[in-house]
Chains A and B, each alone.
Chain A
Amino acid sequence: MMSSSSLAAALLSSVVEEHHHSSAKVTVVGTGQVGMAAAFAMVTQGIVSELALIDMVETKLRGEMMDLQHGQAFLRTVKVQASTDYAVSKGSKICVVTAGARQNEGESRLALVQRNVEIFRTMIPQLVKYSPDTILVIVSNPVDILTYVAWKLSGLPRNRVFGSGTMLDSSRFRFLISERLNIAPQSCHGYIIGEHGDSSVAVWSSVNVAGTRLADIKSNIGKPDDPENWEQVHRDVVSSAYEIIKLKGYTSWAIGIMVSTLCNAIMKNQRMIYTLSTLAQGFHGITEEVFLSLPVVIGEGGITSILNQNLSADEARKISESAKTLHQVVIGVKI
């Protein structure tokens, strides 16, 4: 007979207190299209045990949290919490920052800067307060500038603050190359480095398939005199986001998968090489204190190594210019 004790108490005999330490907790700040695509990708791929969502509108937060929770019976269970209070992020292995104004049609990434710096001033110190050992992954644009700002505001060592940078550009690059060669993107290897934006650098000198450099077969690949116009691939990458925004209003899926892949690499200490926005001072002749994308080794300690990538003289010059462009903006930013 049931008295005041609940059904739960009658059904389950407690052996010991429930464990509260989350070994695989990720916080996503910003529940817009990018943040939610990243959250959904992490949940469907089973790479987190706990997910915390933070934003400024409580109704939206609650709706997104419920919508994710209602699919739980079909997935490995993930605890999903959501709040406007940063305390919900406590104990996160990774904090992914997507919050900020969305890039409008025709707007360059650099035009978003000061708006987002103000938002970061509130956000970054709070994330670090509740998860002092966390890794900060910055996605908000302009990502290279904002990763630099996040690093300054966080007080964290440079290995634990990095930006999504050109990880997605490189994925788009490989996809477009794969379309021309009619093989899988995973089998086409190539990197885009530098600014995640108009001055990014396609490293044509090392683009390869099965170790065979395309530049060895076609010496003018990616150059203005190339009759097959492979540099169009790079231009298409740079304009990709703008184009998708024009067509569907925003981008979400590719950046979502990218964030989820990156978080998995950190969680599982994979030591994968991706192009991510990191402190680039000292590389390729860069003297300024700027963040831009270079191929790095990523694992549970964040960025633990930077690849000493061989660049052609032209590519090295371009990246140095990319650094200067970013530095010009950085010095104008009030942190």
Chain B
Amino acid sequence: MASLAEKLLLHIADEGHHSSAKVTVVGTGQVGMAAAFSMMTQGIISELALVDMVESKLKGEMMDLQHGQAFLRTVKVVASTDYAVSKGSKICVVTAGARQNEGETRLQLVQKNVQIFKHIIPNLVKHSPNCILVIVSNPVDILTYIAWKLSGLPRNRVIGSGTMLDSSRFRFQISERLHIAPQSCHGYVIGEHGDSSVAVWSGVNVAGTRLRDILPNIGEKEDPENWEQIHKDVINGAYEIIKLKGYTSWAIGIMVSTLCNAILKNQRTVYALSTLATGYHGITDEVFLSLPVVVGENGITSIFNQMLSESEAAKVLASAKTLHEVIKGIQL
């Protein structure tokens, strides 16, 4: 006897199975789930795959996301410890790895996460050979380099979240001082996502007016308004939030979702992201660090020839050397 479904719906053609906007998130910790939730509430994907190592957690997270579906544009949510679930992803976001502990620097996490990546990266590429890899796990610049090496993908398709979030925090702090919206305060933090990041004060502007034209020593030691404190607050931002609430999630979640949207919609927005920086600002080593880049459906398609002051360029070069020292010591 025909089931209710068969009586209700007359089947005329097979359901399509090609997901045009599928994203896989590896790692269902606070960062991965905030990114997943943000992508869903903003309606930027058609299919979401979650991958991690603990089945019960995966199933719980998947069910919790599915149960909100009636209130959102439907998104197919699948979850598995098996990477086959990631098949056909446009973007694979990697958040898996040990979480940064209070007081621990990002560089101290390295070797632990390299081992994890040896398992993750080849599996993702196997099931989605045309995907774009977005690396979020820390230390992000090192791990994006590692992911690039392990993936065999061209450099435009392996992107690290880098200083995209630092730049957002930077703009937020500037906006608090000027009492206008963060979206109207323009500025970049580049280089290492970490202690040696570089605040490009020479380019910080509001409505095209450079703050440096009003306050020539902005961000420098002699600056009476101590704007460089903002940059220090950005570097400490993550550590401070971890101390207060145990981890960070919301800001990085929104950042990942914004980046994925830019890729999926081929927006060609300029963000500071971790990319192969050899040849820029005097960098000769093979390192990944953040520079302003153009990002779209083919990943990073252009790097900005950003004008830096002498001291800013020197700092970026120093940042590159710091990263290179760490990379040399890693066993791949």
A181 to B8, CA, bound (A): 9
Judged by a CB distance under 8 angstroms, whether B214 is at the interface is yes
Q: A7-B215, A74-B168 are in contact. Are A182 and B5 (CB under 8 A)?
A: yes
- The minimal Cβ–Cβ distance linking B100 to chain A, given in whole angstroms, is 14
Judged by a CB distance under 8 angstroms, whether A168 is at the interface is yes
In the bound complex, do residue B245 and residue A67 qualify as a contact, i.e. CB atoms below 8 Å apart?
Answer: yes
B40-74 near A? 1/0 per residue, CB < 8 Å: 11100000000000001101110111111111101
Judged by a CB distance under 8 angstroms, whether A288 is at the interface is no
A244 to B242, CA, bound (A): 26
In the bound complex, do residue B255 and residue A71 qualify as a contact, i.e. CB atoms below 8 Å apart?
Answer: yes
A37-49 near B? 1/0 per residue, CB < 8 Å: 1001101110000
Residue of A59, A73, A181, A228 near B168 (CB, 8 A) is A73
Within 8 A of B (CB), among A73-127: 73-75, 77
Most buried by A among B41, B182, B218, B246: B41
In the bound complex, do residue B250 and residue A247 qualify as a contact, i.e. CB atoms below 8 Å apart?
Answer: no
In the bound complex, do residue A252 and residue B64 qualify as a contact, i.e. CB atoms below 8 Å apart?
Answer: yes
Interface of B (DSSP majority class): helix
Judged by a CB distance under 8 angstroms, whether B331 is at the interface is no
In the bound complex, do residue B182 and residue A77 qualify as a contact, i.e. CB atoms below 8 Å apart?
Answer: yes
A249 to B4, CA, bound (A): 35
In the bound complex, do residue B8 and residue A217 qualify as a contact, i.e. CB atoms below 8 Å apart?
Answer: yes
B228-257 near A? 1/0 per residue, CB < 8 Å: 000000000100111111101111111101
**In the assembled complex, which residues on chain A have CB atoms less than 8 Å from the CB atom of B172?**
69-70, 72-73
In the bound complex, do residue B38 and residue A40 qualify as a contact, i.e. CB atoms below 8 Å apart?
Answer: yes
Judged by a CB distance under 8 angstroms, whether B179 is at the interface is yes
In the bound complex, do residue B68 and residue A253 qualify as a contact, i.e. CB atoms below 8 Å apart?
Answer: yes
A252-275 near B? 1/0 per residue, CB < 8 Å: 111111101100000000000000
Number of A interface residues in the complex (CB < 8 A): 71
- The minimal Cβ–Cβ distance linking B314 to chain A, given in whole angstroms, is 25
Quick check: which of A130-138, A149-157, A172-180 contacts chain B, the rest being far away?
A172-180
Chain A residue with Cβ nearest B245? A63
- The minimal Cβ–Cβ distance linking A256 to chain B, given in whole angstroms, is 7
Q: A182-B15, A248-B61 are in contact. Are A170 and B4 (CB under 8 A)?
A: no
A12 to B211, CA, bound (A): 11
Q: A74-B254, A243-B63 are in contact. Are A257 and B5 (CB under 8 A)?
A: no
Most buried by B among A8, A256, A258: A8
Judged by a CB distance under 8 angstroms, whether B13 is at the interface is no
In the bound complex, do residue A254 and residue B68 qualify as a contact, i.e. CB atoms below 8 Å apart?
Answer: yes
B202-242 near A? 1/0 per residue, CB < 8 Å: 00001001010011001000001101000000000100111
Judged by a CB distance under 8 angstroms, whether A313 is at the interface is no
**In the assembled complex, which residues on chain B have CB atoms less than 8 Å from the CB atom of A75?**
254
Judged by a CB distance under 8 angstroms, whether A60 is at the interface is yes
Chain A residue with Cβ nearest B170? A73
**In the assembled complex, which residues on chain B have CB atoms less than 8 Å from the CB atom of A171?**
67-71
A183 to B69, CA, bound (A): 12
**In the assembled complex, which residues on chain A have CB atoms less than 8 Å from the CB atom of B244?**
59-60, 62-64, 66
Judged by a CB distance under 8 angstroms, whether A225 is at the interface is no
- The minimal Cβ–Cβ distance linking A79 to chain B, given in whole angstroms, is 10
A74 to B253, CA, bound (A): 11
Q: Which residues of A contact B (CB under 8 A)?
A: 2, 6-8, 10-12, 18, 36-37, 40-41, 43-45, 59-60, 62-64, 66-75, 77, 168, 170-172, 174-175, 178, 180-186, 209, 212, 214, 217-218, 221, 228, 230, 240, 243-249, 251-258, 260-261
Question: Would you list 25 pairs from A and B whose C-beta atoms are within 8 A, ordered by A residue?
Answer: A2-B215, A40-B250, A43-B250, A45-B42, A60-B245, A63-B243, A64-B244, A64-B250, A66-B237, A67-B245, A69-B251, A70-B248, A73-B172, A77-B183, A168-B67, A182-B5, A182-B15, A209-B8, A228-B4, A244-B64, A253-B33, A253-B61, A254-B66, A256-B37, A257-B41
Q: Which residues of B contact A (CB under 8 A)?
A: 3-5, 7-9, 15, 33-34, 37-38, 40-42, 56-57, 59-61, 63-72, 74, 165, 167-169, 171-172, 175, 177-183, 206, 209, 211, 214-215, 218, 224-225, 227, 237, 240-246, 248-255, 257-258
